[in-house]
Structure 1
Amino acid sequence: MKKKKLLFVIESLDCAGAEKSLVTLLSLLDYSKYQVDLMLFAHGTVLEKLVPKEVNILTPLEYTTFSNLSLKNALVNSIKKSNFKMLTSRMKFSLKIRKNNYKNAQKARLFWQYASKVIETNPTFYDIAISYSQGIPTFYVSEKIKAKKKIAWVNVSYKLDELEKRFQQKFYNTFDKIVAVSDSTKDIFLETFPDYTNKVKVLYDINDPGFITKMAELDGGFEDDFDGIKILTIGRLANQKGYDIAIEACKKLKEEGINFKWYALGKGPLKEEIEQSIKENHLSDHFILLGVKANPYPYIKHADLYVQTSKFEGFGLAIAEARMLNVPVVTTRFDAVYNQMVHGKNGLVVDMNPAAVANGIMKVLQDDNLKENIVKYLKVEKKGNVEELEKFYQLIG
């Protein structure tokens, strides 16, 4: 039987929710039936080493390679080729985004407006082409890929203003199906794009308890010898993840005299701002930025408590991973939180402010009976959702 040709497109395989979800999906696919290509806009990130050997990671786009050159080398490259189109696109985009604090959707639009004309079309014809995140991957699959069927993933609560809606609608019009990773993600997407009701399908981020348990047993994890309470947060150092809430909550825990350290795994644009806030609040011994780790699971396994202070999420994959490793969760009440959280059973869902987060943490830490019951519940609740793989196979026909 001839294999179906699949293409997945995502910006990178950095250590974040959509990226981990894609790596898990790729690890479960039946490669006797599918020939799989993977297109990335950034290479060399931590999760690439976990991509199955059967997956063909495509050569970087010419523009991607050009964008990684120093400005001097980019200029030399342009002079040698007597072609300044890429340099012009790169300079216009760089200058534009320096002037304002643009949101992700705005940055994606500006990038595509400046760079799309110099990004080459993929010559391969695919049976199925999938943009596995919104923004640039969606624009790329829409305009630069030929396929029998195109599917767009939406893995955040996607609220767009009128300008962004008008810009993106012409791309989504080219897709056969749109996948939302939770019911709330679907509802929010359809508030912006009500015309796509018949196109949108819910397919949860696939997570495999067996894979995560095995990864948690490998070497790694906390390297200090701290023997107090270990709190863990995983998330990009960006506004979405609510690190401002986390740091204020951390400050309140310190004032209560609790013997703890709060560790954060992630990187992102707010790193310097968060470091400065940690310093200003005298929390350098209490709030520890660990950067990105290819295997976060030993950290989760050895944490006493997992805390998510997100302001919005499409699903909340790190919460699901903590649950799979039987670690109690305290999380803010973001849109999609009740897709997996049962308040008072597998953790606590609290208001989106520092006092509520700090109080939730203290409640779990100080009430031994509550914590014991949460762990008991975690050990018996349904883990993972590999059955979503069958929905994926149905989706791609």
Structure 2
Amino acid sequence: MKIGILGYGTVGSGFIDVIDNNRDKRDIEICKILVSDKYKHKGKKYFDKITENIEDIFEENIDVLVEVMGGLNPTLDYIKRAINNNIHVVTANKDLLAEYGDELVKLANEKGVYIKFEASVGGGIPVLKPLIESLEGNNIESISAILNGTTNFILSKMYDENLPYNIALKQAQELGFAEANPEADVMGYDAARKLSILSTLAYNNRVYWKDLYLEGITSIDERDMEYAKKLDCKIKLVGQSSLKEDKVSAFVRPVLVENNSILAKVDNEFNAVIVNGDSVGEISFVGKGAGKLATGSAVYSDVIDIIDNRINCIDSFMKNKVEINKILENKCSALLRFSSFKKNEIIDIIKSCIVEYDVLNDKDELAIMVYANSEYEINNSLCLIKDRGYCKNINKLVKIS
């Protein structure tokens, strides 16, 4: 099997290490490796294979193009060119799949080649293949997941060490868990793209990431963590989706989770995906969501599947985009925080709109835990409070079970 590789960074290096560690099992020939600056990689084992010219990749008679360079451009053009040249593709690029998965899967089907992407979600956690293969006999009812190691690390540090957000972010950057520009992580974009891929495969409908309810972690502060501890909860950035009566609901947002739940026990850079099927019940996948060898092993497994011709149909990417419900329609609870507040007026509105409530603090700010029949009830009460000018700012943190 002859392969060309786009990218020689963390994931690319890990993938090559996995190939070398399994030389006695599989005969995989690395023909060329594309990078932007060849001499940054001087001294690496495969320096003689490195090129800055994409034409060198396509001049080789490769069977598989492995894309681990990331980004949308020029990556999309390179992958489409490979498919049009009847070359199989393995990619770890969740941004590309979330945005252009429909186009790429359709083109691959037309050309009779394979596109594989296990490493695009969950790093080294093997979750996509079980979802497609092992759980095929199930109707998937819901997915709950921690899909971004950067934000999970930040929230873990804020909770365990009482750190403010900016200090926890700085630590994540110093340890290599966060980029210099962390926007895609902390605003929830990365997790939303991954949830859209999982949900598209699970519900056999195209779930577009920009249609999800999306909220990042930048507004979470030390007081939120104090209230979470008082409520015997943790705060996690959770991606959750469900399918009920042909309707898909989906969000990525910071939420309260009870300390005895699986998601609460997943800390730092680890990820978790919990899948509920109608036959199998609840199944959990937990592990490192990123990392050199972890993600490299997922890329390697896709290459082996192509070698062994273990391929599955993934036509769900070619379906029409499904409409997404962004609000919790069932019973739910939420932590509400009000600054510069009029206590009696706010509580009167909450009494009239919501089933039950507990006041957690009414000194320097008003903090109330509310228990409602749906998120609509909570939002309606907040609209009334805001419209009547009974507070300056409102923060809402939903609790999920």
| TM-score w.r.t. length of structure 2 | 0.36
Normalized per residue, which structure has more helix? 1
Find the structure with the greater CA-based Rg. Answer: 2
Per chain length, whose mean CA-contact separation is higher, i.e. which structure has more relative contact order (CA < 8 Å, sep 6+)? 2
In terms of fraction of residues, the more strand-rich structure is 2
